[in-house]
A and B are shown apart, each in its own frame.
Chain A
């Protein structure tokens, strides 16, 4: 099905099941520990051996020698895989560094060997006996020191490195009110609960991997390329995923090494990346240095908007697209954005929840707060005044829907924004209290997505698609979609996900999953409805409801269409140019109240509110979970998350969950989420968009602005830890 004209009325608009707050259909499996995650799939292949990854002890250089004798002689060892004995391996299109390093080393903890043994303990013990001599080379590990060497990168995923409209330099110079400030965001780790893990087994030349992966088709293709075998010979299965946040978009060392280990050991092999390896072995959100310049008239009209960002990555990598939202968020006739990329020999940078916008808004939305202060304006009024209903770089393109102002105004009323006092003016015992706000913005992306639906004579509808549920609630919205389309209750729908044997979906990433995957299910269900109507000899305007198909005076049980055998339909939703004609984005406003301990400078969030305008909300319960989770992650980015770089040795030092702090329950006392009522007919027949990333966008800036309102201290370098406040807090007891 091609979606190339805005949606009109369709069965989803009934909203009998779609749009209702719905518990996760797979929830009982997860809460009872019976949803099998990759490493626990003991039943899928007999005689599984255990692989343990050896990570490089240096960041850059090469392996001078590797002695495997002691490891080979260790109890239980079956095989050891290294670059020397693994055969010819290519690099996947989505990988920047090789998943199996050696002799050249590209980053710290790059995998250099897999030790396979009968037990996990034997594999781990033997791995420590692998003796490696390295020839260390000098690397670049310090972004601030490398920005002078940064270059203009190639466009990636359709994002140009530079844009310019009007005459920014002249307009900024002439602006009566100017802001010019630098901000930094550190490297972040996905730090999801479930580590990367894979079980691999070969049958002849056919490989099956049971793994934890967000993008099945991408990863099948990349594994085929890496191993040099046909895609058709590889099956991925990833039904349950314990969090990804972008860290599982691509194959990591566990997949490749499990496959190579299984080949060497001639039996199935399972590999999980231990927590200390995850942070330097896999990808992370790269640090940025950003410069924001805003010029405004005395009454607050933006006349010049400039945003530059510097980030680093391994050779061949890409930039953090931190200026992306600035091209679209506010009106202003004269604009410039630019991204520059330095070579750093730290681990590979890549996507993490809302890549680009998450760190970009951390800077831009402090800058807007700073400008409001200079103007003597309320920061909400400043944002409202500079709203735009068209793409400011291409004014002929309207936003398909844009309710940013309503998000801000709704939130202000609900949060009690009018009670916000001057900076440093509100005390509650030893706490300095402040409120902050930031706009949330994240583009909506749609991707082609296919599904197969089967109707059994019992009336049960089964959906099959390689779509993944990374903890977001995909199972449930897919079921809701099929139930609404086929007129059956939820318990008559079975959803099967994550298997590369199923039709190729959009996958989970970039908050495109919900709308794209359900639109694919919609397309397949339209075909199934046609097949049902034809089979039953009903008029084409038959109504599907209550497990029946009704046309004129006839009413037939849906399952009757399958009495001669299962009815199967498959289709793929594809997109025309509506996303070019209309700028499709999601919007929100984040409100945060913090307390800052006047003596210690400790910052504690007191309450948070998000108001989101993100198209039709398919399952308000799951969407709320997505947003509050993202708000929590944003609070972490604001206050504690930072991969500490050792600039001498080139690695992230705090490489476990004790050292890399993310918020705990005590950090997040109260959260509210409001969804504005929307349905966007330009996005798909579902009229939905994503929310999973919108929820993190702007949160950290709202926290930073609240800290400023509480203390009068402006911190422009994240995270806002107490050492950055301490010397500037008032002397008081």
Chain B
């Protein structure tokens, strides 16, 4: 870990102003990912701006009938909120499928969206990794890549996004509210939030430097049966091999988002039209253009089979 300076701020404006003074800074909230990365010198910020005490820890109803989730709402609190459990069950189920109780107590809503890949080569600073060190190459391509992306990857990076929560947020059409140093606020649909790796896998989101997430909003509830099935080698405390989140209506229509297959929570709205006819067409649409290795090719049939199981479960 490199030496760094630290300050705690008490407002979003103070946070973005602090960043303007210290352009290489990172915001820190729960720290469940960033601190590990700093210890390994994968991230080496010279300055940390602690935003964990900002008054962004409320879950409030919106005028549109949805919810505004403050950026600092802890994963545990979000998962256990009565409104979330009643109207956005997919979100609760995805959250409790992730990490452990202790981590969920610390991890925040904004931080969860911004957690970085768990590619083991990203974590080993002796190895080439375009995400960690742009231009150094990708050791996962041609290496151990059983856990890696099958869609949306590039020749520069085949890492996956590790979040469960983000998969639910994607299916729920969440939007990410931010504020920048000039005080300008915007709302980014989650579908547009993550950047494809292309030749620049170190750039992971559309956030501008110093832009701070203040909240995540959910549209009004869409009803339906909510199921999140996370597939993994052990029963708990493991990142997804793949995950399938669905919202299925009585008429068989619905939404599907996948985790563990790409650089972002993966959803292809056009593929969802096939839902009433079962898993195969949807899986084909979701995974169109997939590129696999001999180690991760299993993810394609796994997605289809898991989706089929989930749809059968939704029917009851």
State yes or no: do A and B come from one complex: yes
Of residues 233 to 290 in B, which have CB atoms within 8 Å of A's CB atoms?
233-239, 241
Q: How far is the CB of A661 from chain B (nearest CB, A)?
A: 5
Q: Is A22 interfacial (CB 8 A cutoff)? A: no
Q: Is B182 interfacial (CB 8 A cutoff)? A: no
Of residues 690 to 733 in A, which have CB atoms within 8 Å of B's CB atoms?
719, 721-723, 726-727, 729, 733
Pick the contact of B235: A124, A430, A646, A666 (CB < 8 A). A666
Category for how many chain B residues contact A: 35 or more
Pick the contact of B231: A598, A722, A733 (CB < 8 A). A722
Q: Is B37 interfacial (CB 8 A cutoff)? A: no
Q: How far is the CA of A634 from the CA of B241 in the complex (A)?
A: 22
Cβ B41 vs Cβ A667 within 8 A: no
Q: Is B2 interfacial (CB 8 A cutoff)? A: yes
Cβ B298 vs Cβ A726 within 8 A: yes
Q: Is A570 interfacial (CB 8 A cutoff)? A: no
The digit string for B291-316, where 1 denotes a CB below 8 A from any CB of A, is 00000001001100110110111000
Cβ B233 vs Cβ A639 within 8 A: yes
Task: Using CB atoms, name the residue of chain A closest to B313.
Answer: A430
Cβ B305 vs Cβ A600 within 8 A: yes
Pick the contact of A722: B118, B236, B302 (CB < 8 A). B302
Cβ B144 vs Cβ A727 within 8 A: no
Pick the contact of B298: A653, A667, A723 (CB < 8 A). A723
Q: How far is the CA of A656 from the CA of B123 in the complex (A)?
A: 10
Q: Is B120 interfacial (CB 8 A cutoff)? A: yes
The interface centre, meaning the residue of B120, B121, B232, B241 with most chain A CB atoms within 10 A of its CB, is B120
Q: How far is the CB of B303 from chain A (nearest CB, A)?
A: 10
Of residues 414 to 464 in A, which have CB atoms within 8 Å of B's CB atoms?
430
Q: Which residues of chain B come closer than 8 Å to A646, judged between CB atoms?
A: 139, 143-144
Q: Which residues of chain A come closer than 8 Å to B120, judged between CB atoms?
A: 644, 653-655, 659
Also in contact, A276 and B1, with CB within 8 A (given A722-B241, A726-B298): no
Q: How far is the CB of A641 from chain B (nearest CB, A)?
A: 10
Q: Is B127 interfacial (CB 8 A cutoff)? A: yes
Cβ B143 vs Cβ A599 within 8 A: no
Q: How far is the CB of A284 from chain B (nearest CB, A)?
A: 16
Pick the contact of A599: B41, B236, B305 (CB < 8 A). B305
The digit string for A581-607, where 1 denotes a CB below 8 A from any CB of B, is 000000000000000011111101000
Pick the contact of A276: B40, B118, B312 (CB < 8 A). B40
Q: How far is the CA of A646 from the CA of B239 in the complex (A)?
A: 21
The interface centre, meaning the residue of A653, A658, A721 with most chain B CB atoms within 10 A of its CB, is A653
Q: How far is the CB of A695 from chain B (nearest CB, A)?
A: 20
Q: Is B124 interfacial (CB 8 A cutoff)? A: yes
Category for how many chain A residues contact B: 35 or more
The digit string for A119-139, where 1 denotes a CB below 8 A from any CB of B, is 001001100100000000000
Q: Is B146 interfacial (CB 8 A cutoff)? A: yes
Q: Which residues of chain A come closer than 8 Å to B5, judged between CB atoms?
A: none
Q: How far is the CA of A58 from the CA of B126 in the complex (A)?
A: 8
Cβ A128 vs Cβ B305 within 8 A: no
Of residues 14 to 60 in B, which have CB atoms within 8 Å of A's CB atoms?
39-41
Pick the contact of B124: A124, A276, A600, A661 (CB < 8 A). A276
Cβ B146 vs Cβ A667 within 8 A: no
Cβ A727 vs Cβ B306 within 8 A: no
Q: How far is the CB of A608 from chain B (nearest CB, A)?
A: 14
Of residues 635 to 675 in A, which have CB atoms within 8 Å of B's CB atoms?
639-640, 644-646, 648-649, 653-656, 658-659, 661, 663-667
Pick the contact of B234: A75, A640, A644, A649 (CB < 8 A). A640
Pick the contact of B1: A124, A599, A644, A648 (CB < 8 A). A124
Q: How far is the CB of B239 from chain A (nearest CB, A)?
A: 8
Q: Is B3 interfacial (CB 8 A cutoff)? A: yes
Cβ B234 vs Cβ A664 within 8 A: yes
The interface centre, meaning the residue of B124, B139, B143 with most chain A CB atoms within 10 A of its CB, is B124
Q: Is A296 interfacial (CB 8 A cutoff)? A: no
Q: Is B65 interfacial (CB 8 A cutoff)? A: no
Cβ B238 vs Cβ A121 within 8 A: no
Q: Which residues of chain A come closer than 8 Å to B126, judged between CB atoms?
A: 57-58
Task: Using CB atoms, name the residue of chain B closest to A430.
Answer: B309
Q: How far is the CA of A354 from the CA of B238 in the complex (A)?
A: 27
Q: How far is the CB of A162 from chain B (nearest CB, A)?
A: 35
Q: How far is the CA of A108 from the CA of B126 in the complex (A)?
A: 10
Cβ A726 vs Cβ B306 within 8 A: no
Q: How far is the CB of B97 from chain A (nearest CB, A)?
A: 11
Cβ A649 vs Cβ B235 within 8 A: no
Q: How far is the CA of A666 from the CA of B239 in the complex (A)?
A: 15
Task: Using CB atoms, name the residue of chain B closest to A604.
Answer: B235
Q: How far is the CA of A275 from the CA of B257 in the complex (A)?
A: 34
Q: How far is the CB of A53 from chain B (nearest CB, A)?
A: 14
Of residues 117 to 161 in B, which have CB atoms within 8 Å of A's CB atoms?
118, 120-121, 123-127, 139, 142-144, 146
Also in contact, A726 and B235, with CB within 8 A (given A276-B40, A655-B120, A655-B124): no
Q: Which residues of chain A come closer than 8 Å to B311, judged between CB atoms?
A: 733
Task: Using CB atoms, name the residue of chain B closest to A729.
Answer: B305
Q: Which residues of chain B come closer than 8 Å to A649, judged between CB atoms?
A: 127, 139, 143
Q: Which residues of chain A come closer than 8 Å to B231, judged between CB atoms?
A: 600, 602, 722
Q: How far is the CA of A125 from the CA of B39 in the complex (A)?
A: 9
Q: How far is the CB of A111 from chain B (nearest CB, A)?
A: 14
Q: How far is the CA of A598 from the CA of B302 in the complex (A)?
A: 11
Q: Which residues of chain B come closer than 8 Å to A721, judged between CB atoms?
A: 233
Also in contact, A648 and B142, with CB within 8 A (given A667-B235, A726-B302, A733-B309): yes
Q: Which residues of chain A come closer than 8 Å to B313, judged between CB atoms?
A: 430
Task: Using CB atoms, name the residue of chain A closest to B2.
Answer: A125
Cβ B235 vs Cβ A664 within 8 A: yes
A-B contact pairs, 30 of them (CB 8 A): A57-B126, A75-B3, A125-B3, A128-B41, A276-B40, A430-B312, A599-B306, A600-B229, A600-B306, A602-B231, A602-B232, A639-B233, A644-B120, A646-B139, A653-B121, A653-B143, A654-B120, A655-B120, A661-B233, A663-B234, A664-B234, A664-B237, A722-B233, A722-B241, A722-B302, A723-B302, A726-B298, A726-B301, A726-B302, A726-B305
Q: Which 6 A-B pairs have the closest CB atoms?
A: A599-B309, A57-B126, A723-B298, A666-B235, A666-B236, A644-B144
